[in-house]
Structure 1
Amino acid sequence: MNDGMTYAYFFAVPRLFADRPYDYVGKTDDDTYYRLASLAESLRGKARRDAYHGYLTPCHWLPEKQYMSGMGYIVSWDVAAWIAETPELRDDHDDWEDVNFGGWLRKGGRYKNVYNEEPRMYDYWDREMDADINCFRHEHRADAVAVHKLKDRLKWARTLHFFNATQGLAPSNMYHLDLDNNIYRV
C-alpha cells in the first residue's frame, strides 16, 4: 500500500486514456462500496481543475493537516496528468500514501478545490460491533457516497441490502442470501 502504488496508478491513467481524457480520475480500496449515482450528484457543479474530492481525515482537524482517506478519492483529470508529468513524485513517499498524496498536491499548488464528503463517506458500523460511532464510522445513510471497511461478505451483504442493491436479485445456486438471519453463502 505504501510503496508507490498510488503514484503508479495516477501516473498510468493519463497515459492509458490520453486520447479520451475524463473530467475526473478515482482511486478506491477494494473494501469500499461506491454509490455511483451519489458520487455523480456530489460532483455536479464542482470544479474540474485542481479538484480533490473524498473524505478528509483526521476529521475535524486543521485543514492544512488533513488528507484524503484512502477509502477512495477523486481528482480532476489535470491533477492526474500533473502527477504523470512530475517524475520526482515517484520517490516521494516517506509517509502513508494518502498523506504523501495530499502533500504532493499542496507542494505542486494543486490543492485548490477540496471537497470533503463527510459524513456521506464513512467506515461501516453496525450495532453488533464493539467500536463506537464517531465522525468516520456510523450507521448507513441513505445519501451515502461511499462505505468503507466492508471486510467480509456479511458486511457487503448488509450494505448492499440497505441500499436496495440486492432487491429483486434472482435466486441462484451460486449464492444464498438470508439477511434477516445473517446468512450469506457463496
Structure 2
Amino acid sequence: MDNGKTYTYFSAVPRLFAGEPYDYVGKTDDDTYYRLGALADALRDNPRRDAYYGFLTPCHADPRTQYMSGMGYVVSWDVAAWVAATPELQNDLKGPEDKLFGRWLRWGGRGRNVFGAEPRMYDYLDGGMRQGPTCFRHLLQADTVAVHKLKDNLKWARTLNFFNATEGHEASPLFHVDH
C-alpha cells in the first residue's frame, strides 16, 4: 500500500489521457461509495486549477500539516500533470501515501485551493461499533459525497439502500448479502 501506488497513478493519468485533459483527477479506496452527482455539485463552482478536494485529516490539526484522507480525493488536472512532470517525487515514495501526497503538494507549492469536504465525506458508522460519532465518522446523511469503510456486503447494502441507489434495478444473479 505505501510503496508508490499513489505516485504511479497520479503520474500515469496525465500521460494516458494527454490528448483529452479533464478538469479533475481523483483516486478512491475500493471500500468507498462515491455519489458522483454530489461530487460534481461540490466541485462545480470551485477553481479548476491548483485544486485539492477531499476529507482533511487529521481532524482539527494545523492546516499546514493536514492532507486528504485516502478514502478518496480529487486534484485539478494541472496538479496531476505536475506530479507526472516532477521526477524528484520518485525519490519520496516510502510511507503513508496520502500523507506523502499532501507533503509533495506543500513542497511544490501546489494544491493551494484546498477544499475540505467534511462532514460530507466520512467513515461509515455502524451501531455495533465500540466508538460513536467522531469528526470523521457519523451516521449516513442525505448530502453525502462519499462514505468510507464499507468493509462488507451488509454495509454496502445498507448504504446503497439509504441513498436509493439500487431502486428500480433488477437484482443481479451475482448479488449476495451476507446475513
Same fold by TM-score, threshold 0.5 exceeded? Answer: yes
Map of 1:73 onto structure 2? 73
5+ long unaligned stretches in structure 1? 177-183
- State the alpha-carbon separation in 2 of the partners of residues 142 and 106 from structure 1: 33
Map of 1:54 onto structure 2? 54
- Counting only pairs closer than 5 Å after superposition, residues 1-186 of structure 1 correspond to structure 2 as 1-175=1-175, 184=177
Compare 121-130 and 18-27 and name the one that shifted more.
Answer: 121-130
Deviation per residue, 1:122-167 (Å, 9 max, x gap): 0001212222210100000100000000000000000000000121
Q: Structure 1-normalised TM-score?
A: 0.92
Structure 1 segments, 4+ long, off by >6 Å, are none
Report the alpha carbon displacement of residue 172 of structure 1 after superposing the two structures with TM.
4.7
Q: Structure 2-normalised TM-score?
A: 0.95
Report the alpha carbon displacement of residue 87 of structure 1 after superposing the two structures with TM.
1.1
Report the alpha carbon displacement of residue 15 of structure 1 after superposing the two structures with TM.
0.4
Give the share of equivalent positions with the same residue, in percent: 66
CA RMSD of aligned residues (A): 1.2
- State the alpha-carbon separation in 2 of the partners of residues 141 and 133 from structure 1: 13
Which AA in structure 1 matches 2:156? W
8 Å contact from structure 1 (residues 52, 74) kept in 2 = yes
5+ long unaligned stretches in structure 2? none
8 Å contact from structure 2 (residues 121, 144) kept in 1 = yes
